[in-house]
């Protein structure tokens, strides 16, 4: 085998992550391509059909929901781990290509930015009605009565929140826990989006999904906020105000993680995000994030996208550097412990 092949076997994950990252930036998520998230969604719906309690004490809904969560995480993580491991062992190049594909389909920076840019384009070319329709594809709130500023605000919020959920968090788990870890995170995030509602059906049944999503996102959300602050400085935005608003408003959300990135983007742009919004016909009174130092404008969507891409590149570089450094430290520790390990049988 050539030197390149030996090196590729040693660094297969790092190379796969970089190539997957670049493929996402180049291709995004083509509409006609099948996405593995659909399989996860189908699994969640089938498990929900079988496990949602039709009768019994209310607490049964919680335990059944927890069992669903464990089944889904185990099925997704186990299948990805076994598939990638078997392929790499017996058909290395096929396994490596599969790892690239899994890395590519985990990341969503291009898809997120394209969707946000489509809203800006719709507002410019088709007016408010077109903007409302375009933003309805990427947000969960009711959009029929949104003003132009409301459409822009909802889009910027989506970019800010999903910088963590759609890019930095999956990148974090992918780099440090491999393809299986990345797809476990994707399963956790998908279950939260499908089951993590505070309503009569899911308040107990979806509680495990909602709480575990908070746990998995705790570190990545704060790293994403840090990367966005640095991105604000490099992108010509107000990094000082981003830090100020982050410190003040980072917990102004029902989730302990969502406002981490929203507060940074609001401060960097000098606009006010969040606030009351209508969901399924009912007004939800959410607190505002940021200060309205100026009126929000369509150009803020492009500014938020620029911060997204800069933060994504920082996440890739920092995570890979930390992984390499940790690998070197572990290798050095193993060398130091080797003489003791060799001498241990003689002492027993």
pLDDT at 347: 55
222: its two tokens: 């704060």
Q: Give how far the C-alpha of residue 275 lies from the chain's centroid of Cα atoms, to the nearest Å.
A: 23
Give the single-character DSSP code of 284: E
Do residues 84 and 99 touch, judged by C-beta distance below 8 A? yes
Q: What is the pLDDT of residues 119-165, one digit of tens each?
A: 999 999 999 999 999 999 999 888 888 999 999 999 999 999 999 99
Q: What is the DSSP string of 286-312?
A: PPEES--SS---THHHHHHHHHHHHHH
Q: What is the pLDDT of residues 297-324, one digit of tens each?
A: 999 999 999 999 999 999 999 999 999 9
248: its two tokens: 């003040």
pLDDT at 227: 98
314-335 burial: b if 16+ Cβ within 10 Å, else e: bbbebbbeeeeeeeeeeeeeee
Q: What are 296's strand-pairing partners?
A: none
Check the CA dihedral 70-106-217-252 and report its sign. negative
For residue 14, give the H/E element and its range.
helix 12-27
Pairing of strands 282-284, 277-279: antiparallel
Q: Which residue in 187, 186, 183, 180 sits closest to 87, CA to CA?
A: 180
**Identity of the highest mean pLDDT range in 196-205, 248-257, 317-326:** 317-326
Task: Calculate the alpha carbon distances from 38 to 60, 178, 186 in Å.
Answer: 28, 21, 11
Q: Which residue in 192, 320, 208 sits closest to 258, CA to CA?
A: 192
For residue 53, give the H/E element and its range.
none
Average pLDDT over residues 26-45: 89
Band of residue 255 on the pLDDT scale cut at 50, 70, 90: confident
pLDDT at 280: 74
């Amino acid at each position: 085998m050539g030197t390149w092949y030996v090196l590729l076997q040693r660094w297969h994950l790092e190379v796969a992550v970089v190539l997957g990252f670049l493929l996402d930036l180049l291709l995004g998520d083509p509409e006609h391509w099948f996405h593995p998230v659909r399989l996860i969604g189908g699994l969640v719906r089938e498990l929900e059909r079988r496990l949602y309690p039709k009768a019994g004490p209310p607490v049964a809904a919680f335990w059944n929901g927890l069992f669903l969560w464990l089944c889904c995480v185990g099925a997704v993580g186990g299948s990805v781990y076994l598939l990638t491991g078997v392929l790499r062992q017996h058909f290395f190049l096929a396994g490596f290509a599969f790892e690239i594909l899994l890395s590519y389909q985990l990341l969503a920076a291009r898809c997120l930015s394209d969707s946000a840019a489509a809203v800006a384009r719709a507002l410019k070319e088709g007016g408010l009605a077109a903007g409302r329709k375009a933003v309805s594809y990427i947000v969960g709130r009711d959009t029929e009565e949104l003003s132009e500023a409301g459409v822009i605000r909802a889009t910027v919020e989506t970019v800010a929140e999903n910088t963590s959920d759609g890019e930095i968090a999956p990148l974090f788990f992918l780099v440090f826990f491999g393809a299986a870890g990345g797809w476990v995170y994707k399963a956790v995030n998908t279950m939260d989006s499908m089951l993590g509602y505070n309503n009569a059906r899911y308040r107990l049944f979806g509680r495990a999904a909602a709480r575990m999503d908070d746990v998995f996102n705790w570190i990545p959300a704060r790293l994403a906020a840090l990367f966005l602050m640095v991105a604000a400085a490099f992108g010509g935005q107000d990094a000082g105000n981003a830090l100020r608003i982050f410190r003040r408003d980072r917990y102004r959300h029902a989730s302990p993680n969502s406002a981490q990135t929203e507060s940074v983007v609001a401060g960097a742009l000098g606009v006010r995000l969040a606030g009351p919004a209508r969901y399924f016909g009912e007004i939800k009174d959410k607190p505002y994030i940021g200060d309205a130092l100026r009126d929000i404008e369509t150009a803020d969507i492009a500014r938020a996208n620029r911060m997204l891409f800069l933060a994504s590149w920082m996440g890739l570089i920092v995570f890979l550097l930390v992984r390499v450094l940790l690998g070197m430290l572990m290798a050095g520790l193993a060398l130091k412990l080797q003489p003791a390990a060799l001498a241990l049988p003689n002492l027993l």
